[in-house]
Amino acid sequence: MDSSLEIIKSEIEKRHQGDVKQLAVVFDTNNRLLVEAPAGYGKTNTMVSKIAYMLATNEIPYPKRLLALTFSVNAAYKIKKDVSLKVPELLKDSNLNIKISDKIFVSNYHGFCRRILKKYGYLLHSNLLNIDNLQSIDDSKPRNTMRDVTGLSYENAMFLSEYNTSLKELKYDFVKDNIIKYNQIIIDELISREVIPYNAILTLTIKLFNDYPKILSFYQNFFTSILVDEYQDTNTLSYWILNKLITEKTNVLLLGDSLQRIYGFIGAIPNLLNLSAEKFNLQKIELDKNYRFAQNPSMLLLDKNIRSNAENPKNPQILEEANIEFEILEDQNEESLYVINKAIKLIREDPEAKVAILVKQRGANITRIIDTFNLNNVPFFYGLYSDEDPIYTKFHRTCLFEFIEILKVNNRVSKKMGKSHQLKIKSLYEENNSPLIEAISNLLSLFWERIFIDFAFVSNEEKIILVKDTFENYGLKQYVEFVNSSIIISTVHGAKGLEWDYVIIPDMEKDSFPNFWGLCNGCSSNSDCILEIKDENESKFLEELSVFYVAVTRGRKQVYFSASKKQLDNSGNYRVKNSSCFMNLKGINKSTKAQQSTVVKNK
């Protein structure tokens, strides 16, 4: 081993402080690895060190590249930032002269495919040469598609919608058997009119690879190593792209956590980690040290026990119960007071802290909590939106449309452009001062601000792709971490990938968390909500447990739970409800810590 490599290896060992599993990933000579990486287990550091070691050992020889992909645009740019800043630190004391940008290409799936179409898409249609200026549309709703595409028949609009639905509902055969028809309609009817749907960026890349094998062969040989982060979120089309790119010679590193798969409702493939281990002949390594909760034994044990329930739902191996603080209140009025008092108390005791109140979905119960905050003039950030929320999605599509219009005049991404874009969006929504629009507008401002802080180092072309991908992926929610508010009220899906000091999870009742459609509908444990896992409900249980686990692991210091004995329905009437079956999971011991009210106002 030469001296440079010894220096790098020593630096990596020092950084990982004897973590056997992390070092196994970094130094393993097997070129096919699957890394099970739960939240807080040091995945990012492991990934950065692995890339540094691959560069040091010339596993990415010039002019070849490592392709790093992820589902979310924000996650992709975090990887880009981490790699750009931290890999050079690991290599600085060696005599290696490596330019990171010449070795690694980082993107989300859509950003990667957009690059390919920008270069070779003209072979499918000349308008793809100018893909950055094509207007992006949502083809999931027939009437909206017909509104956006003049002359499109209702029959074709219905087919595009059906294809979207099939992707979300994992109807693999329909997606595979009809991709040719889908692409033909896209090319003939939409690209020709200078519009492009979100899914088509992937389907047209698949068509390009199928129709032009030499292009596919070029990318297979160019990207000799492929790394995929957040692999559990991969959907059918993304997986199809990977299958095209990965050959017998490709180095493969997949990182993910099967218990954080919460995008099943938009098409994330179930059990993908295990399926891919077999498909690509991967050696599996499970990271096993939780650094996020290392100084917090109760949270460490809660994390472990939830994962035990996921690993063996019918008979989890529990050695010690985790104590949780679970407050059961008489009704939603009392619960809303508990939540606001708890949040205030936490901030008074820890003034620099941020508190997140996370819920499964909007409804009458969370509305009562919000009313209590407003009534008592306690400020908070409103983050109750999801990728399926029509107002949230329309705001992003409006942002995308106006950004593309600006690009037609000036394609230089600058602070001036950002201000111009924000002013335009503000003028379009000046008569809408709803909490949701106010919140997303705040996120838009933060997004433009962070572009020139976090991504000042990327090229203008990459900034354009970042902006377009963020709006196309409904990604403004990821900028909640930068809001200037001590209290955030958010959905769990909106909180994915983020962290706060403390998390409060209210509405832990039957039909709320898990909700009626998620697990409670048809459950045979209605009388006591002590869930018995059987073959017929195991899949739904694991899906809902994933959302619960993501909610719990958003808290760095502590998580608190609450429920009401009487739950509000959508008509504002109270219904007696059991506490959630998740509060009865094996390995959870509930304790109550009553507190005096510090806020007395309520409806």
Q: Return the bridge partners of 381, or none.
A: 488
CA atoms within 13 A on the CB side of 457: 11
Counted residue by residue, the chain has a size of: 603
Q: What are the residues whose beta carbons fall under 8 Å from the beta carbon of 402, sequence distance 6 or more?
A: 421, 424, 425, 428
Which residue ranges of the chain lie beneath pLDDT 50? 594-596
What six digits make up the tokens of 251?
A: 């180095």
Neighbours of 287 (CB within 10 A): 23
Which among 301, 300, 354, 293 has a CA at the least distance from the CA of 495? Answer: 354
All domains of the chain in start order, with CATH: 3-108+212-286 (3.40.50.300), 112-209 (no CATH), 297-380+485-591 (3.40.50.300), 390-482 (no CATH)
196 vs 193: CA distance, rounded Å: 9
Kindly write down the DSSP assignment for every residue of 348-392, as one continuous string: HHSTT--EEEEESS-SHHHHHHHHHHHHTT---EEE---TT-HHH
Report the 3 state secondary structure along 101-121: HHCEEEEEHHHHHHHHHHHHH
* Cis upstream peptide for 316 (omega within 30°): no
Q: Return the bridge partners of 518, or none.
A: none
Q: What is the pLDDT of residue 535?
A: 81
What 3-state DSSP class applies to 80? helix
What six digits make up the tokens of 487?
A: 């209290």
Would you tell me the crossing angle of helices 20-27 and 43-56 to the nearest 10 degrees?
30
346 vs 368: CA distance, rounded Å: 21
Q: What is the pLDDT of residue 594?
A: 47
Which among 173, 153, 154 has a CA at the least distance from the CA of 163? Answer: 173
259 vs 309: CA distance, rounded Å: 10
75 vs 191: CA distance, rounded Å: 29
Q: What is the pLDDT of residue 99?
A: 76
Task: Give residue for tokens 């997140």.
Answer: 356
Q: What is the pLDDT of residue 598?
A: 55
Q: Which helix (H) or strand (E) holds 36?
A: strand 32-36
Q: What is the pLDDT of residue 282?
A: 94
Which among 154, 138, 142 has a CA at the least distance from the CA of 200? Answer: 138
Query: What is the torsional sign of CA 475, 479, 483, 486?
Result: positive
Query: What is the torsional sign of CA 383, 387, 388, 392?
Result: positive
Strands of 62-212, DSSP E: 65-70, 104-108, 135-137, 195-197
Q: Return the bridge partners of 35, or none.
A: 255, 285
Dihedral, CA of residue 215, residue 217, residue 218 and residue 224, to nearest 10: 140
Q: What are the residues whose beta carbons fall under 8 Å from the beta carbon of 1, sequence distance 6 or more?
A: 9
What 3-state DSSP class applies to 34? strand
The amino acid present at 205, given as its one-letter code, is T
Residues 587, 308 contacting (CB under 8 angstroms): yes
